[in-house]
Amino acid sequence: MTGETTPPLYLRGRFAPVPEEHGAADLTVRGALPPELDGRYLRNGPNPLPGRDEGHWFTGPGMLHGIRLRDGRAEWYRNRWVRTRQLEGHPFIREDATVDLAATSANTHVIRHADTVLALCEAGLPYWVTPALETVGPYDFEGRLTTAMTAHPKEDPETGELHLFGAGFAPPYLTYHRVTAAGLLLDSRVVDVPGPTMMHDFAITEHHIVWLDLPVVLDPALAGRGGMPYRWDEAYGARLGTMPRTPGSTEVTWYDVDPCYVFHVGNAYEDPRGRIVLDAVRYDEAGFQKAWGDIGGPTGPDALGGVREPGRTDAPAVLHRWTLDPATGTVTEARLDDRAAEFPTHDERRTGRSHRYLYTVSGGGIAKHDLARRSSQVYETPGSRWAGEAVFVPAADGTGEDEGWLLSLVSDEEGAAGELLVLDAARLSVQAVVELPYPVPAGFHGSWLPER
């Protein structure tokens, strides 16, 4: 028909938002769910209200999807919008030009810390939700959190502390926070960076915080147009920083790196020589511009044509390793794999410590990367199915780093109902598939919350 336009990529196919909240019980399971999977798998993602286009995949209101597993059964599935002030129509920027940190989308991640479940989005405060996915309200750690909170906090597996940061549109551009295992925010420090970049993730090691100060910057000229007002600016520079975890320290040692961007970190650790090793998914400029344009972001003239540098693969992003040597002040860089990669995950018992395996979304499937052997394998989802981020759940009696399961919410390009995929992490083979009664749009990040 004349006058019709094709919806943007982030509103069609496997990304198409669902118009309603649903619930269902006693779900069909193909295969055998491990009986020790007793808990909830929760995943977050953007889901614009019916008829709305927020201008970018990252900016739609958050929707949580949850599946309850127990005794080898899938007891229920439900989806719920995170009822933030943004969803209720409150503007993020008030008339007096101040920012309402509670008028955010809370659409990016969902975690549990100190028995509190939080829906996260880096532009504002987290939102407290119940295990049944009902919204309680904005959460500011008893008034101690006065900045935004990253969607990618890191919990130290030894201390139980939660490390996080807030990125600001105005000074201070970066603030670090530390939360005790009991949930008390007791350490906040301003970290000096030159401007407002889109710092989406960071890393911890046993003794350091690792910062990523990279050339995707806030551009005020793009504000007010809808979507995300960030663009690539190579003049900003690209560097990685290490800051001691010593309480009160704000001293950062910076290492210049080749221009790139990182949405997501795999893990980081200190090697026996005292060097800091960081594994992450790296975009060069062409890869970033292509990916950013596909999801609604402003791009440069080279991006829409899919320009690629001579000799590079078609993968917009691949696993990459930086090794930072404080003894010499130098950094080395190396590509770890040629597979297209995003949403890297690992055994979170290894957070900040050396790791052998990373798991990524690669194409429509899930890849397992063996970093000791520098090899990888992939589980390909069938037909029009597309796997999401794979969350690793360790087996209770497992001793190996890959002894356990990978949980991934699967979306369908043709609008069919979604699935919860359970893979044996060691073999990358299907253990079980939970059939969901409704479509599930592609989303961002999730967590396995074991029953206490």
Annotated binding site for Fe cation: 152, 200, 264, 445
Strand residues in 233-352 grouped as ranges (E): 239-244, 253-256, 265-270, 276-283, 317-325, 330-335, 342-345
Residue labelled with tokens 């209101």 = 61
Beta strand residue intervals within 130-222, DSSP E: 135-138, 154-155, 162-167, 174-179, 185-190, 203-204, 208-213, 216-218
Question: Phi and psi dihedrals of 412, rounded to 5?
Answer: -120, 130
Distance CA 41, CA 182 (A): 23
- At CA 107, angle to CA 70 and CA 263, rounded to 5? 105
Q: How far apart are CA 63 and CA 106, in angstroms?
A: 8
**DSSP 8-state secondary structure symbol assigned to residue 292:** H
| CB 186, CB 163: distance < 8 Å | no
DSSP SS3 for 362: strand
Contact between 358 and 318 (Cβ < 8 Å) = no
Report the alpha-carbon distance of residue 110 to residue 448 in Å, rounded. 10
Length reported for the chain: 452
Nearest alpha carbon to residue 384 among 408, 429, 418: 418
Q: Which residues pair with 67 in a beta bridge?
A: 41, 77
DSSP structure string for 175-189: EEEEE-TTS-EEEEE
**Amino acid letter for position 72:** G
Phi and psi angles of residue 10, each rounded to the nearest 5 degrees, phi first: -75, 5
Q: Pick the closest to residue 296 from 105, 48, 57 (CA basis).
A: 57
- Cβ atoms of 183 and 114 closer than 8 Å: yes
Contact present, 284 and 312 (Cβ < 8 Å): yes
Annotated binding site: 152, 200, 264, 445
